[in-house]
Amino acid sequence: MPILVQKFGGTSVRDAICIKRVSKIAVDAQKQGFQVVVVVSAMGDTTDNLIDLARDVTTKTDPREMDLLLSTGEQISIPLVAMAIHDLGAKAISQTGLQVGILTEDRHGKARITEIRTDKLKKYLDDGNIVVIAGFQGISAATGEITTLGRGGSDTTAVALAVALGAERCDIYTDVDAVYTTDPEIVREASRLNAISYEEMLELASLGAQVLHPRSVEIAKNYKMPMRVRSSFKPNDQGTLVKGVGEMELNNPVSGVALDESQARVAIVGVPDKPGIAAKVFESLAKKNISVDMIVQSTSQDGLNEIAFTVDKDTLQDTKKIAEQIAVDIGAKKVTTDTNIAKVSIVGAGMIGRPGIAAGMFKALADSGVNIQMISTSEIKVSCVIDAKDGDKAVKAIHKAFELDKVSKETQRV
Ligand code: ADP
Ligand code: ASP
Ligand code: MG
C-alpha cells in the first residue's frame, strides 16, 4: 500500500475544531487507500509561549532544558489528534520522537536527524493504524537526550519520515493555501505558484520564507521526495507542488522574493592588510559552531581593511565576544555590531544566463530610496542587506518591479 505523510502546522491544530478537521483529512486519505503517517506541530502559539515562559524565569536559558521544555508542545498535540481519529472510527496511535526512534546529532536547539527507525512504525501501519508522530523532536543518538530540530522543524520531521518510509508524497498543511511569490502577509497581491523547484524553494526557505523549514526542502531535494504545500482549511485545493527543476517550465526569471529579519551585521574595523587574517577570523567562529552568512571585505584609504559579515541574531553575543578577542589578537581597531538590518533576496532558476536581473533589483531599491549595505549572489539568487525599517518597502518594490503580482493562472508554472 502506498504511504502518505501529512504534516499539520500549529495553526492547523490550534483548537479542538481544527484538530477534528485535520483528523478527518488523515482518515479520508486512509480511506483512499494510503497508509497514513501524520506529523503534528505544537498547538497554535504554544512554542512561542513556552519560550516566553522560560525567559520569564531565567536570563540565560539552558539549551538542554529548553529542548525538554519545547518538546512538550508537540507531545500535547499528538494524543489529541490520535483520539480525534479514534472518534472517527479509525485506528491511530501517537508516538513521540523517542518512542518512534528519531535519532539526531548530539546538539540542542538545532539538531539534524541522523537516522529514523522504521520497524515499529511499519508494524503499526500494517496493523491499520494512522501513526501520529510529534514533529520537531528527536533524541541524541549519543546520549539519549531529547533534542529539537530548530524553529519550524516539524516540516523536516515529516519529510525525513517520508524518505525513510519510501512514501509516495509528503503533504505540508499550513495556514496559507500555497507557496506564493512572496510572503502574502507583506504583499497582498502576491501570486500563487502551482509548482516550484526544490532548488528555488530551498533558496527561498533559507533566505527567510518561513513557509517551509530549509532542511525539509534539502532532504526532499536529495531524495527526490515530492512535497505539497497546502491548507488544512481547503483540503481539496492542491496547493503548490515542490519538484525537480528539470520537470519545470521556467517562464519568469524571478520566482520569488524573501525577507529575512533574523540576522545581525558584525564588522571588524581597522584590520591589518596581510594574508591569513580572514582565515583566522572565520576559523575561530566555525570552531564555536557559529554559521556566518554574507561576508564583505573592503579596503579603506589608510590601507587597513574592514571585514563585515552577518550571523543569526541568536548567536550575536557569542560572535561579538569571539570577534573582540580576534580583533585584539590581530591588532584590529574595533568591532561594531548592528541588529537593525534585514536581508531581501530574489530567487529564480530562470535568472541563469539572463543578464540584468541583479541590476533590476538594485534599481527597484534605488527608486524607492533604499540603501544597499551588502550584496551577495549565487547562480539563482541575489541578496541585499538593507536597513531593517526598509524591509517591507523593499519587498513590495522588488515584487512590483519583476511584475510578480501579474503571474496569471495561465503562466503559473506547472
Ligand atoms: P506552520 O505553523 O504551518 O508551520 P509557518 O508560520 O511556519 O506555518 O509558515 C507559514 C507562513 O509562512 C505563512 O503564514 C506566511 O506568512 C509565511 N510565508 C513567508 N513566505 C511565504 C511564501 N513565499 N509563500 C507562502 N507563505 C509564506
Ligand atoms: N513547534 C515548533 C515551532 O513552533 C516546530 C514547528 O512548528 O515546526 O517552531
Ligand atoms: Mg512552519
173 ligand 1 Cβ < 6 A = no
**Ligand 1 centroid distance, CA of 350 (Å):** 23
Beta-ladder partners of 36:
4
HSE (side-chain half, CA atoms, 13 Å) at 209: 29
Ligand number, closest to the Cα atom of 174: 1
- DSSP secondary structure letter of residue 237: -
Ligand 3 centre distance from Cα of residue 229 (Å):
11
| Low-confidence stretches of the chain (pLDDT beneath 50) | 409-411, 413-414
Provide the 8-state DSSP code for 313. Answer: G
Nearest to 341 by CA among 296, 366, 311: 311
Q: Judge whether 246 and 406 are in contact, CB under 8 Å.
A: no
- pLDDT recorded at residue 358: 95
Q: Is the CB of 350 under 6 A from ligand 2?
A: no
Among 7, 48, 183, name the best residue to mutate to test ligand 1's pocket (greatest count of ligand atoms within 8 A of Cβ): 183
Q: Tell me how far the alpha carbon of residue 374 lies from the centroid of ligand 2, in angstroms.
A: 31
Comparing CA positions, the residue from 410, 414, 407, 394 lying closest to residue 192 is 407
Contact 271, 330 (CB under 8 A): yes
Quick check: CB of 41 below 6 Å from ligand 2?
yes
Query: What is the value of pTM for the model shown?
Result: 0.94
151 lines ligand 2 (CB under 6 A): yes
Which atom of ligand 2 sits closest to the CA of residue 149? 5
Q: What's the 330 CA to ligand 1 centre distance in angstroms?
A: 43
Residue 168 Cβ < 6 Å to ligand 1 = no
- Strands 129-134, 91-95: pairing is parallel
Judging by DSSP bridges, how do beta strands 240-243 and 195-197 pair with one another? parallel
Distance in Å, CA 75 to ligand 2 centroid: 12
Residue 156 in contact with ligand 1 by CB distance below 6 A: no
Mutate-to-test residue for ligand 2 from 13, 14, 70, highest number of ligand atoms within 8 A of CB: 70
The ligand whose atoms approach the alpha carbon of 46 most closely is 2
Enumerate the domain spans of the chain: 3-175
Cα–ligand 1 centroid distance for 279 (angstroms): 37
301 Cα: distance to centroid of ligand 1 (angstroms):
45
Best CA proximity match to 125, nearest among 5, 2, 35, 38? 35
Q: Which three cell numbers stand for residue 34?
A: 494510503
Per the CB < 8 A criterion, the answer to whether 206 and 218 are in contact is: no
257, 181 Cβ separation under 8 angstroms: yes
Going by CA atoms, what residue is nearest to atom 8 of ligand 1?
Answer: 174
CA of 377 to the centre of ligand 3 (A): 26
Point out the ligand nearest to the CA of residue 177: 1
The one-letter amino acid code at 176 reads V
Q: Any bridge partners for residue 148, and if so which?
A: 137
What is the predicted pLDDT for the residue at 22?
98
Tell how far CA 122 is from the center of its chain: 28
Closest-CA residue, ligand 2 atom 9, reads 151
Ligand nearest the Cα of residue 45 is 2
Q: Which atom of ligand 2 has the smallest separation from the CA of 10?
A: 7
Predicted local distance difference test score (pLDDT) of residue 408: 56
Residues within 5 Å of ion ligand 3, judged at the Cβ atom: 152
Give the Å distance between the CA of 41 and the centre of ligand 3: 8
| Ligand 1: residue whose CA is nearest its atom 1 | 9
Task: Give residue 50's pLDDT.
Answer: 98
* CA-to-CA separations, 332 to 187, 325, 329, in angstroms, rounded: 43, 10, 8
41 touches ligand 1 (CB under 6 Å): yes
* CB 278, CB 307: distance < 8 Å: yes
Q: Which CATH class is domain 3-175?
A: alpha beta
- Which residue from 13, 49, 72, 154 has its CB within 8 A of the most atoms of ligand 2, so it is best to mutate? 154
- Asked if residues 163 and 3 have their Cβ atoms less than 8 Å apart, the reply is no
In this structure, what is the dihedral angle of CA atoms 132, 134, 140, 145, given to the nearest 10 degrees? -120
The single-letter DSSP state of residue 117 is: -
Amino acid identity of residue 248, one-letter, is M
For the chain, count helices (H), then strands (E). 12, 22
Do residues 148 and 70 lie in contact, with contact meaning Cβ atoms separated by under 8 Å? yes
- The whole-angstrom separation of Cα 327 and Cα 114 is 37
Q: Is the CB of 10 under 6 A from ligand 2?
A: yes
- Rounded CA separation 148/109 (Å): 5
